[in-house]
């Protein structure tokens, strides 16, 4: 005879903070995509991406505050709360890092692969928002997680192709150094979306047991 | 700053020479084997120090091809013992100077400087006449383009791009070729620098000469310079001659090099820094 365990309901306020964080990450990705598409004329958008990064930090702080002060059970293990908040925060941090590098390194013009990666990032952050929505409503989560994994694979492919392009022939070594950093930041942002997807999947599995 | 390539496999000589070049902040590269002449054209060298022993049996042909393809570049041969016949042949084929090893690096540096100085005297920008295209006058002596007496306020790199396209006189230049000639390196696949700089140049020209189109896009290929009125009426690109006095600009830049903080300045500083790093690891 199986022992049925009653799961505590998900803390709606906590889930709301995660949704807010994911929406903020999606906004940062959209801004970065706009910035790259219109670079260097739209380089001022780096400031808006930085504001997203600060907003992300604020939301993460609120999540931690809620965990430490809330008397009610969150319905999610503390470790998962910490991991999910960290992963979503990482998305924005890496996106902001890429935007910052564009100015810091005196980049003169974008590269097509960077624009492609930012497009992938917009898709993956949107996927995280939709996955959180499924976690709240109980809708089909698996297909949304698969979509994030596919985008992460696409990000890997574009990133490898971009780095290979930097090492083909006699490219200016300074271009190689600068763009390698930027591609890596963009890829890490996409990777963080997959990390968030893994944590959401783990939360869902634990709730179904 | 002088851009110098050293084609030599004598590690001791190269190390000592590079140390000296680093101290002088020269942008230099050490090449263990002779690169294709087309690549040398792209990296826009002021001078090259070469040991024919590294070039193998085709040394003379290489020197001849380099001399023909890069008439503005100084070519200094630095090698071991040689016969009078060899030295005469090398100098006649295109070498500007011949140094016999063992030699002091200071002497090599001084001879390179002398060769570059002679080259610069022989081709000062003032000798290059303006190109006239539609309302536009492109003046290499001022690294600037003008409409009447108004400057287009082009940066150095923007000017180099415009000048290169204008010299093509209606010929389509591929993005990769433009990048190689203006930036001095091979273009990375996906790099949009040429597109961005064409956009900047177009915008500056449009502000001064709104009735004319100068740079035309050939999708998937590159760009073509051809002055055309807004009705599509083409005009020639002419070079009236070096002696024709140009307009007196209102605010001709005293120094057309990019100012600190401009992308070009960052680039040049970075190239220098990297050159020093490359040399120290050679």
* Pair B165, B108 in one domain: no
Query: Considering CB atoms only, which of B197, B263, B274 is closest to A106?
Result: B263
How far is B261 from chain A, CA to nearest CA, in Å? 8
What is the CATH number for B216?
1.10.10.10
pLDDT tens, residue by residue, A83-93 = 999 999 999 99
Query: Would you say residue B259 lies in a domain?
Result: no
Query: Would you say residue A1 lies in a domain?
Result: no
Identify the band that residue A3 occupies on the pLDDT scale cut at 50, 70 and 90: very low
Q: What is the tally of structural domains in chain B?
A: 2
Query: Would you say residue A141 lies in a domain?
Result: yes
Domain termination site, one of B93, B123, B153: B123
The contact set of A with B (CB < 8 A) is 39-40, 105-113, 162, 165-166, 168-176, 179
Q: What is the tally of structural domains in chain A?
A: 1
pLDDT computed for residue B241 by the predictor: 54
Domain termination site, one of B59, B91, B123: B123
Q: Does any CB of chain A come closer than 8 Å to the CB of residue B235? A: no
Query: Would you say residue B230 lies in a domain?
Result: yes
Query: Would you say residue B281 lies in a domain?
Result: no
The DSSP H or E segment spanning B237 is: strand B237-238
Greater model confidence, B98 or B256: B98
Query: Considering CB atoms only, which of B42, B43, B271 is closest to A174?
Result: B271
Mean pLDDT, range B109-116, rounded to an integer: 90
pLDDT computed for residue B266 by the predictor: 36
Query: Would you say residue A45 lies in a domain?
Result: yes
Query: Would you say residue A5 lies in a domain?
Result: no
Query: Would you say residue B206 lies in a domain?
Result: yes
Residue B118: give the domain boundaries.
Answer: 3-123
> Which of B176, B192, B260 to probe by mutation at the A interface, max A CB count within 10 Å?
B192
Q: Does any CB of chain A come closer than 8 Å to the CB of residue B274? A: yes
Query: Would you say residue A7 lies in a domain?
Result: no
Mean pLDDT, range A158-185, rounded to an integer: 92
Query: Considering CB atoms only, which of B185, B190, B195 is closest to A165?
Result: B190
Give chain A's length: 209
How far is B27 from chain A, CA to nearest CA, in Å? 13
Tell me whether residues B197 and A109 touch, CB distance under 8 A: yes
Residue B174 has pLDDT above 90, yes or no: yes
* Pair B149, B217 in one domain: yes
What is the CATH number for A42?
1.20.58.220
Q: Does any CB of chain A come closer than 8 Å to the CB of residue B259? A: no
Residue A170: give the domain boundaries.
Answer: 12-208
Query: Would you say residue A44 lies in a domain?
Result: yes
HEC readout, chain A: CCCCCCCCCCCHHHHHHHHHHHHHHHHHHHHHHHHHHCCCCCCCHHHHHHHHHHHHHHHHHHHHHHHHHCCCCCCCCHHHHHHHHHHHHHHHHHHHHHHHHHHHCCCCCCEHHHHHHHHHHHHHHHHHHHHHHHHHHCCCCHHHHHHHHHHHHHHHHHHHHHHHHHCCCCECHHHHHHHHHHHHHHHHHHHHHHHHHHHHHHHHHHHHC
pTM of the complete model beyond 0.90? no
Tell me whether residues B188 and A171 touch, CB distance under 8 A: yes
pLDDT tens, residue by residue, B38-47 = 777 767 788 8
Query: Considering CB atoms only, which of A108, A110, A168 is closest to B189?
Result: A168
**A111: which 2 tokens?**
């590269």
pLDDT averaged over chain B? 80
Chain A residue closest in CA terms to B193 = A109
* Pair B115, B136 in one domain: no
Q: Does any CB of chain A come closer than 8 Å to the CB of residue B178? A: no
Domain termination site, one of B82, B103, B123: B123
């Amino acid at each position: 005879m199986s022992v049925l365990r009653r799961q505590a309901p998900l803390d709606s306020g906590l889930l709301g903070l995660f949704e807010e964080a994911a929406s903020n990450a999606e906004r940062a990705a959209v801004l970065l995509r706009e910035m790259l598409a219109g670079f260097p004329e739209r380089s001022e958008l780096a400031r808006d991406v930085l504001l997203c990064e600060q907003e992300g930090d604020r939301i993460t702080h609120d999540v931690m505050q809620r965990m430490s002060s809330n008397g009610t059970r969150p319905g999610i293990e503390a470790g998962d709360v910490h991991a999910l908040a960290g992963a979503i925060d990482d998305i924005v941090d890496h996106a902001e890092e890429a935007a910052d590098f564009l100015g810091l390194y005196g980049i003169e013009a974008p590269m097509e692969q960077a624009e492609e990666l930012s497009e992938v990032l917009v898709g993956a952050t949107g996927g995280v928002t939709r996955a959180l929505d499924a976690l709240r409503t109980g809708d089909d989560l698996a297909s949304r997680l698969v979509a994030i994994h596919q985008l992460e694979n696409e990000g890997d492919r574009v990133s490898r192709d971009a780095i290979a392009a930097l090492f083909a022939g006699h490219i200016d070594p300074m271009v190689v150094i600068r763009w390698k950093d930027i591609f890596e930041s963009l890829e890490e942002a996409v990777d963080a979306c997959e990390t968030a997807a893994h944590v959401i999947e783990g939360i869902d599995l634990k709730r179904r047991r | 700053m002088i851009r110098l390539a050293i084609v030599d496999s004598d590690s001791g000589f190269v190390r000592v020479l590079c140390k000296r070049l680093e101290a002088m902040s020269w942008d230099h590269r050490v090449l263990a084997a002779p690169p294709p002449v087309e690549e040398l054209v792209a990296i826009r060298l002021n001078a090259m120090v070469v040991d024919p022993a590294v070039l193998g049996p085709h040394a003379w042909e290489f020197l001849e091809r380099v001399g023909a393809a890069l008439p503005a570049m100084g070519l200094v041969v630095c090698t071991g013992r040689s016969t009078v016949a060899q030295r005469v042949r090398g100098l006649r084929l295109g070498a500007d100077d011949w140094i016999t090893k063992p030699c002091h690096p200071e002497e090599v540096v001084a001879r390179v400087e002398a060769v570059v100085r002679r080259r610069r005297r022989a081709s000062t920008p003032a000798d290059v006449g303006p190109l006239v295209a539609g309302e536009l006058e492109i003046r290499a002596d001022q690294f600037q383009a003008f409409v009447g007496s108004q400057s287009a306020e082009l940066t150095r790199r923007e000017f180099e791009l415009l000048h290169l396209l204008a010299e093509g006189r209606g010929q389509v230049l591929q993005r990769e070729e433009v990048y190689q000639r203006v930036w001095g390196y091979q273009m990375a696949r996906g790099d949009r620098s040429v597109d961005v700089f064409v956009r900047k140049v177009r915008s500056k020209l449009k502000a001064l000469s709104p009735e004319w189109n100068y740079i035309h896009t050939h999708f998937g290929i590159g760009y073509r310079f051809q002055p055309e009125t807004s009705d599509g009426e083409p005009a020639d690109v002419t070079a009236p001659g070096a002696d024709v006095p140009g307009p007196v600009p209102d605010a001709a830049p005293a120094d057309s090099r990019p100012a600190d903080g401009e992308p070009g300045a960052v680039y040049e500083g970075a190239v220098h820094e990297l050159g020093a790093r490359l040399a120290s690891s050679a």
